[in-house]
Structure 1
Amino acid sequence: MASWSILSLFALAVVTEAAIGPSAQLTVSNVQLSPDGFTRDTVVVNGQFPAPLITGKKGDTFNLNVVDSLTDKSLDTVTSIHWHGLFQKGTNWADGPSQINQCPIIPKEDFDYKFSVPDQAGTFWYHSHYRNQYCDGLRGPLVVYDNNDPQKSLYDIDNDSTVITLGDWYHYLSTQAPGVPAPNTTLINGKGRYSGGPASDLAVINVTKGTRYRFRLVSISCDTNFIFSIDSHKFSVIEVDGVNHQPLLIDSPQIFAGQRYSLVMTADQDVGNYWIRAQPNNIVATFDGGLNSAILRYKTATVADPTTTSSLSLTLNE
């Protein structure tokens, strides 16, 4: 089922909670959501979209019990989960690709994923690895922190609030899409607006003037790549795909499906509201009406849409 409803603005909001892990239960189920104001059936983890942030520390063992509670016959009802970017040394059985490393989990059954991260830290993500199921919603960020991070002196804040997900969103169900469908919406932290749709809520990232933030930018996209930027702000790239990087000053990285960046941004502008932009390559590439956008809001700023403009000169192109 897929339809637009005014109720979606209120009753079917995107649900997000605190991070979980390294030991947790992940219940995969179906709900109707409208992250962009268009209501459709989805696949979620613990009732959340995007799926909850999973965190751990370098050296941890992750114990993740995945329960298949899928019931919607219009979508795939079996599943498996891949932990994208983790090496799985000695635990290839826990890597997740269905029909390759494991049989998919069937409804009313569960599977225990157990793996260690002895020598990795950084920004990762996880997603369904059964057909195109992750495009229906089963996708979320995963962060492995390093207590001895050699770049820790470069930032002040690195927590749940500084993880930013970028994703494309489809009004077609993955099981019913004709050929390769065009995405309808850019979602930033699970929220967005589509062309011709309602003025749905946009994601807001709150900052305090003078503070340095490590933004962990995660593309949980199915297909779309984005040019990411925040008006009037620059970034220092310090990590790419789980590997530390010598700081590189930019104002706009291009990010493809599955890629991750750690971007250090100093909140050094006047107190106010600034547009966060994710220009897509295959969705309506306008920012009019808040499309492809979110909001960076300084502490004590008025709650309002930004009026800022974009001027880029240091794009990091792939």
Structure 2
Amino acid sequence: MPRYPWTDGPEYITQCPIRPGSKFTQKIILSTEEGTLWWHAHSDWTRATVHGAIIIYPKNGTKYPFHKPDREVPIILGEWWKNDVNAVRDEGLATGGDPDPSDALLINGQPGDLYPCSKSGTKFNFPF
């Protein structure tokens, strides 16, 4: 994070972790950035499940460096484990091996209709 390196890193190194039930506000000053960026947690393996997109539009009065899209469809990819992600990490550390691979890949937080944990009626008919 340009201009804010003390709030971008592992807990207890660059900042204290955010306690459950508390709030944290991150002020971001942008200058020349535009496009879609990705944010994620840094605490243990919460980064596996706490992430999202930040969409930065061109400044008012400027044009896109390409033809303006007809519409926007943010797509956020992730992973899902049947077990707690910290337990998966701990098992990998205890054995010295790689952590177990995820049980499913996610698109916008949903693993699709082949898994019982998707929202009812989840369909992945993207317009491309």
Partner residue in 1 for 2:101: 182
Shift of 1:115: 2.3
1:142 partnered with 2:54: yes
Shift of 1:109: 3.4
Q: Match of 1:164, SS? A: coil
Quick one: which amino acid aligns to residue 52 of structure 2? G
Partner residue in 1 for 2:20: 107
Shift of 1:295: 1.4
CA 1:297–1:146: 2 relative to 1, 3 Å: closer
Write out aligned runs for 1:153-172 (5 A). 154-159=67-72, 162-172=73-83
Shift of 1:108: 4.0
Identity within the alignment, %: 26
Deviations 1:55-87 (A, max 9, x none): xxxxxxxxxxxxxxxxxxxxxxxxxxxxxxxx4
Deviations 1:154-174 (A, max 9, x none): 233344xx1111222111111
Partner residue in 1 for 2:84: 173
Partner residue in 2 for 1:78: none
Quick one: which amino acid aligns to residue 295 of structure 1? N
Partner residue in 2 for 1:119: 32
CA 1:108–1:92: 2 relative to 1, 3 Å: same
When normalised by structure 1's length, the TM-score is 0.32
Deviations 1:116-168 (A, max 9, x none): 01121111111111011122x2111111111324424x233344xx1111222
CA 1:158–1:164: 2 relative to 1, 3 Å: same
Partner residue in 2 for 1:296: 126
Give ranges in structure 1 of 5+ residues lacking alignment. 1-86, 204-293, 299-318
Partner residue in 1 for 2:41: 128
Looking at secondary structure, tell me which structure has more strand per residue. 1
Query: RMSD in angstroms over aligned alpha carbons?
Result: 2.7
Looking at secondary structure, tell me which structure has more helix per residue. 2
Deviations 1:207-244 (A, max 9, x none): xxxxxxxxxxxxxxxxxxxxxxxxxxxxxxxxxxxxxx
Quick one: which amino acid aligns to residue 17 of structure 2? P
Partner residue in 2 for 1:202: 122
Aligned equivalents of 1:192, 1:106: Cα separation in 2: 29
Aligned equivalents of 2:113, 2:126: Cα separation in 1: 20
Shift of 1:199: 9.3
Q: Are the counterparts in 1 of residues 78 and 106 from structure 2 also a CA contact under 8 Å?
A: yes
Aligned equivalents of 2:47, 2:113: Cα separation in 1: 20
Aligned equivalents of 1:296, 1:134: Cα separation in 2: 26
Q: Are the counterparts in 2 of residues 184 and 194 from structure 1 also a CA contact under 8 Å?
A: no
Give ranges in structure 2 of 5+ residues lacking alignment. 93-98
Partner residue in 1 for 2:96: none
Aligned equivalents of 1:106, 1:124: Cα separation in 2: 25
Shift of 1:194: 7.8
